[in-house]
Amino acid sequence: MVGTLHKKGDIRIQQTAFMIIAVFFFFILVGLFFLGYYADRLKADAQNLEKKQAIASLQTLTEMAELSYDATGFEYLSLDEDKILSLMDEDYSNIWPIASLKVYKVYPMFDKLIQCPNPDCNYYVVYDSGQDYIEEFSTFVSLCRKEKEFGTIYDKCEIAKLVAGVKDVK
């Protein structure tokens, strides 16, 4: 009789130990689930922050002295085409918080894209980090330059689209 009570006690102790281990593993799995959820949320928040930063950078880039067109009446959202030509093909990864910067002429319309500085070109690649999976944001700007025609120097402006890209983690 004592031996059977002892065996029943051992079985109950084992059942309790297995139950404690099962509860422990359950809480570990729940903890891992929450850690994964918060890590995904943190990643999404970081992507949203990069997107907001790129959108805010569009206005900042047009107001930079390195890109803006300096003429009376062109204070807002106007880029200097000559400055853009001089800034192409440089590494701006330490200066700009973006992965790419391009300027496309919108009007007059073109049949095909021709990258500048070729004749009759219609888009500029100011900066490209070479990253894959870039999500792009854009705004319309005036693309201006000084022209001389019939002995008169004037401001020639065209409608363009400034496109800034941020790295999109897939």
Dump pLDDT digits (tens) for 10-41.
788 888 989 999 999 999 999 999 999 999 99
Task: Return d(Cα 79, Cα 73) in angstroms, integer.
Answer: 13
**Does the pLDDT value for residue 170 go beyond 70?**
no
What domain count does the chain have? 1
At 30 the pLDDT is 94
Task: Return d(Cα 73, Cα 82) in angstroms, integer.
Answer: 18
**Does the pLDDT value for residue 93 go beyond 90?**
no
**Residue 95 belongs to a domain:** yes
The parent domain of residue 111 ranges over 47-167
pTM over 0.75, yes/no: no
**Residue 84 belongs to a domain:** yes
At 2 the pLDDT is 53
Strand arrangement, sheet containing 100-107: 78-80, 134-149, 152-167, 100-107, 123-128
Task: Return d(Cα 86, Cα 78) in angstroms, integer.
Answer: 16
**Residue 127 belongs to a domain:** yes
Task: Return d(Cα 160, Cα 81) in angstroms, integer.
Answer: 10
